[in-house]
Amino acid sequence: MVEDFLVEGIKFIGGLAGLGTAGFTIYDRLVKGRPIVNISAKKRLPGVATEFRLTIRNPTDRDIIIRDIHLNRPEVIVGSDETVTSLLMASDGVRYRAIVPANSERWFRLYDRSDDPADLPVSIEIFWRPVTASRFERQPVSLRISTGLLRDLREEAERRLEAAEEIRKSEF
């Protein structure tokens, strides 16, 4: 009787340990090593357009390849940097690849060409994989924003620049 209780207790503990190991493995493979995506706005000078950045941060200790960035709206495009060539290539639909080194980040220029005052949804999907992994794609990282959010970010960046200019003028 005591031996049966002991054996069943050991099996129960072993089952819990197995479930814990399976849960950790799934978390480690699907969630932990994913890139972190962020959108920010910055206005550098008065009279210059607000710059939107799509920042991809790689929190892992391995380099990752950004294979493609898909957007569902043609009015919003992503360029690899700030150059006019990047803008033209992005507007022509040219795809590019980029490497994000381990424990670092890389940003991409986000251009909002929409004139529509409506709040339109924008879906961004980033296709990626570790450099050292097999050829299989990982689950894309998705980010859902709207053109209204981009307008709000632009207005906030302009307010911050104006406040900084006021502080600078008051110091002199």
| Tens-level pLDDT at each residue, the chain (172 residues) | 678 888 888 999 999 999 999 988 877 767 777 899 988 887 766 666 677 888 999 998 889 988 888 888 888 888 877 677 877 777 777 777 888 999 999 988 888 777 777 788 888 998 888 887 666 667 888 888 888 888 888 888 888 888 888 888 887 6
Closest by Cα among 52, 65, 134 to 97: 65
What is the edge-to-edge ordering of all strands in the sheet holding 76-79?
A: 36-42, 51-58, 104-112, 76-79
**Cβ-proximal residues to 50 (8 Å cutoff; 6+ apart), any chain:** 41, 42, 43, 153, 154, 157, 158
Q: What is the pTM of this model?
A: 0.71
Instruction: Please give the domain boundaries of the chain with CATH numbers for all domains.
Output: 35-171 (2.60.40.10)
